[in-house]
Every structure is written in structure tokens, then in C-alpha cells.
Amino acid sequence: MLPRITAWWTILRISLQERLVYRGDFALGTLMRFLPIVTQIFLWFAIFANLGTGARITNYTYEELVVYLLLTMVARAFSSMPGLASTIARQIRTGDIKKYLTQPVDLLGFMFLSRMAHKLAYYIVAIGPFALVFFLCRGYFIHLPDAPQAAAFAASLILSFLLGFYLEACIGMVGFWFLEVTSLLFVYMLFSFFLSGHMFPLDMLPQPFGTIVQFTPLQYLAFFPAQVFLGKVQGWDLAMGLLIELEWVVLFMLLSRVLFLRGLKRYSGYGG
């Protein structure tokens, strides 16, 4: 356990330093990530303008929609895993993954810890730009969540991090069977972009799409946490939602483990 903590601390320190060394790059990069939201907000403003004052679209007021879009940014900061699947796939392709056969290091464990360190470093630095944007948009936050709701929001974010991690890890593991996973990854990105609720609240979709997206794990990457914050899911539904999210996490956690072990077996079967 102790060496693991030291390793983790080292990764954390290095990634934090990295973030700080490429200074302009990073601060600017984080702020720029909000630019698409700005366009989206203007688009929705134009749509609401046509509907007249006080209009609602599927239970969303204009203010709620703005908050929703901002919150998906927070959720994506937890659930998106840039480069995770492609790194795993590359390690499989180059054979680097073999070192996990001989060394007492667990690939998934190691990747998880380093990803956590990267994320933590990211939050420490990105909190500035995020705070700035939220401060500028403070007028839109009409209702703030109460303590239990805030706790549920935090839980949903942590679960979305886990879900994002194991989902992408599974896709990376597919590289054991197909050497080229870039296309698969693109398809995943495509679906997660639209079906995580990153673009618009998923409950705006007409039937049957509205029901279909309820059954995918992707909604927990952005839509669900934002719903929790806005108080759109409460009580029993909220508990159920968190439970289902947890189930998805466990499922993909086990799946990634199974894929990894099977993949390694297949790999060593080739004899190198």
C-alpha cells in the first residue's frame, strides 16, 4: 500500500507541474472549453425569444437551461477520459502491455491511480476558470440545491468519473482483439457526445428516443448529474438513479477486468 501511495503522490506532483509549466496553454484551454457553451446559450436564447417571455421547453426555463449546460461542463470534467482508451490500445499494439505480465503492477490499478492524479491536478488548476465562468453566470442560478441534494450531486459526479474510466478502459481492451480501435473510439465519442446530454437535456427528445436514452449508461456522464443539481430528480427516483449508475459502474469495472485477463491470456497464447 505504501509504495502505491508514494507512486501516486509522484504522479500527482508531476502532472501538477506539467499543468503549470505549460501556462498560457492551460488557462486559455480551460476557458476556451466554455466557448461552445456560449454559442449554445445564444442559440437557446434565440429559441426562447421566439416563444415569448416565461416560456418553458419540456419543463426547462431559459435560466435552467443555461445552468444545465454549465453543469454538463462540470460533469464532463469528471467523466471524460481523454486518451485513456487510445493509450491502452497503443500499449497493446506496441507490446508494452507485456510488462504487466511480468511486473507486480496491475494495469487497471495503475491507470486508475494516474488518471485520478491527473484529474486532481486538473481540478486544482481549472477551478479558477470554472469559478470565473460560474461567477459571471451567477444570475442564472435561481435555486441552489440543499445539502442532501448537493451530496447526491457530488456522489453522481464521483460515480460518473468511475463510469467514464471503466467504459473507456473496456474500449481500450478491445484492442486485444482488433488492433485498430480508433474507429470504435470515434463511434463511442460520437454517441457519448450526443447521448450523454452534453448538447441538450436528453428529456427533450421525443419518443421513442427519449426512452431509449434512459437505458444507456451514457446519460450518467453528463445528463444525470446536471438533473440532480437542478432538482429534477428527487426522492425515490434520485436514489434509484444513483443505484443504477452504481450498477453500471460495477458492470463495466468487472467487464474491464474480464477483458483484460482474457486479453492477456490471448496475448501470451501467441507467445509474444
For helices 35-51 and 62-79, give the axis angle rounded to 10 degrees. 160
Residues 132-191 that bind another protein (CB under 8 A): 180, 183, 186-187, 190
Which DSSP letter does residue 233 get? S
**33 touches another protein (CB under 8 A):** yes
DSSP code of residue 97: G
- Cell of residue 185, nine digits: 473510439
Q: Tell me whether residue 38 or residue 243 sits nearer to another protein (CB atom).
A: 38
Candidates 7, 155, 158, 199: give the one binding another protein (CB under 8 A). Answer: 199
> Does residue 209 interact with another protein by CB under 8 A?
yes
- What angle is formed at CA 115 by the lines to CA 197 and CA 6, rounded to 5 degrees? 155
Nearer to another protein, 39 or 94 (CB): 39
What CA–CA distances, in Å, run from 97 to 107, 112, 114, 263? 8, 15, 16, 10
The pattern of x and - marking residues 51 through 70 that bind another protein according to CB under 8 A reads x-----x-------------
Where does this chain touch another protein (CB under 8 A) — which range of 9-17, 71-79, 98-106, 211-219? 9-17
Interface residues with another protein (CB under 8 A) are 13, 16-17, 20-21, 23, 25, 29, 32-33, 35-36, 38-39, 42-43, 45-47, 49-51, 57, 180, 183, 186-187, 190, 194, 199-200, 204-206, 209
